[in-house]
Structure 1
């Protein structure tokens, strides 16, 4: 495996992290996961823009364009001959003696490398079960931070309960997102999802789904909805870069509608693969 470290390509065995790297000690950094189909990045430009947004929001001075990230990522893909999979990319604030305040002289550390991604074909066909979990995370979920302990704990709880995912809620009137996905509800033919604010990550796949919905004339409402609305939905699905679209047919012990993937979900799933060579969405 070839790994990108800053602007240098190295072998996997050389890809070490200093014990005083702030990403290691504080989770002081941000990341992206970019999907690859047929040897090409999917929505690469959108991922780079979101990574730059996250860097700016936490005050890491690192200009991705000036550092030639796009060209490096394309070279990384070619060097590893990735046809179907993904690239994991993270930028930490860098190496400095351990102290909470931002160090003035630390240089950001960037790592990127290929990861194995398995398309959840069976789950997309039959649908999955999810659990509900109160959202105890911080209030800047719009930043794709390395601080994922709350998400990890909740995903583990879902696994232990035989569920595919956990859906977060902040109170009974406020469903937010999944532990590693965005959440969508279909009611009376309209697609609902949480607004892109600080309570959720504005998923690149989320944005792509909204684009596909517009193309296929599915009405969309970006609005906060309640647990009751979630339970009363005609259809529910979750979405992410690695999962694409996965229908939800059961929430804990309650079956959604007829317990099968719904027509709108299947329509969006069928349309999902139409533009998998896109570098960026037409409207951002």
Structure 2
């Protein structure tokens, strides 16, 4: 797995790194992961825009042109894979405050993946941890992922695949790494950003696809009990794409929207120019 630190390829993933980096000590930094198909980053411009805005939100002075260059370099010679770009807070004076003198570190990795990552069926279980809808970290992919790590670890110990988060108001938010949609009577319903979710790229694509096909959509708060009455539930992110939820806790979902699910999946694969027979 090739890894670059500030544009320089690391030898066997080993590079000199200042241990006073605020990304390491305080989790001050952001990241983005993107799918690569045939040396091309899927939804490249959307990923670049999101990462650039995240850096700006944390006052991390990284040129968008450099991030773009690294995306291209990491995707080269990767038939099917994933790239991750991490931007740390860099080294600055001791303390919590960000220093304008700090120089961020940019770490880029590229890894091959198998096509089995796409559209898996998911068994989801509710976590007692809550998504803080007022938190800065709810809206940006920062390096602070402890809640997600603990929740998904507990879920897998219980033989589930992922964890479902509610927010502090008791509304459905998201899974550990994905946005959530429910289908009810042919309508797509997804929590609003104000309920503490990350506005994911694949989520935006699904909303765009629905609009293009006149599929009804509602962005509104969802209660857990309402979720149990859904015709279907699915998760979206940039790597799994669309993942149908088969179970919510011990409740098996009815999965009554096969045609709509198939349509959304086919629209995604058509747009990223990938055949599932590959």
Q: Note whether the superposition's TM-score is higher than 0.5.
A: yes
Q: Show structure 1 runs of 4+ deviating over 6 A.
A: none
User: Which residue of structure 1 lines up, in the alignment, with residue 247 of structure 2?
Assistant: 250
Query: Residue 24 of structure 1 corresponds to which residue in structure 2?
Result: 24
Verify: 1:48 aligned to 2:12, yes or no.
Answer: no
Structure 2 Cα separation of the partners of residues 123 and 254 of structure 1 = 20
Per-residue deviation at 1:75?
Answer: 2.2
Contact in 2 for aligned 1:118/1:242 (Cα 8 Å):
no
Any idea what SS the aligned residue of 1:11 has?
Answer: coil
Q: Distance in 2 between matches of 1:122 and 1:58?
A: 32
The residue matched to 1:158 in structure 2 has which SS? helix
Does 1:169 pair with 2:166? yes
Query: In the aligned structure 2, how far is the partner of 1:105 from the partner of 1:122?
Result: 42
1:70 maps to which residue? 68
* Alignment equivalent of 2:124, drawn from 130, 148, 155: 130
- Please, which of 80, 84, 92 is the counterpart of residue 84 of structure 1? 80
- 1:226 has 2:220 as partner: no
SS at structure 1 position matched to 2:4: strand
Deviation at 1:277, TM superposition (A): 5.3
Aligned to 1:100: 96
Tell whether the 8 Å contact from 2:124 to 2:245 is kept in structure 1 after alignment.
yes
Is contact 1:134–1:171 with CA below 8 Å preserved after alignment?
A: no
| Aligned equivalent of 1:2 | 2
Aligned to 1:112: 108
Structure 1: state its 5+ residue gaps.
Answer: 279-284
Which one of the candidate residues 113, 135, 149 is aligned to 1:152? 149
CA distance in 2 between partners of 1:165 and 1:266 (Å): 22
Which of 200, 206, 214 pairs up with 1:209? 206
Instruction: Answer yes or no: is the 8 Å Cα contact 1:117–1:242 preserved in 2.
Output: no
| Number of aligned positions between the proteins | 271
Distance 1:36 1:70, change over 3 A: same
Quote the Cα distance in structure 1 between the aligned partners of 2:83 and 2:142: 17
Task: List gaps (5 residues or longer) in structure 2.
Answer: none
Q: Residue 50 and residue 238 in structure 1: after superposition, are their counterparts in 2 closer, same or farther (change >3 A)?
A: same
Computed over aligned residues only, the root mean square deviation of the Cα atoms, in angstroms, reads 2.3
TM-score w.r.t. the length of structure 1 is 0.87
2:237 equivalent in structure 1: 240
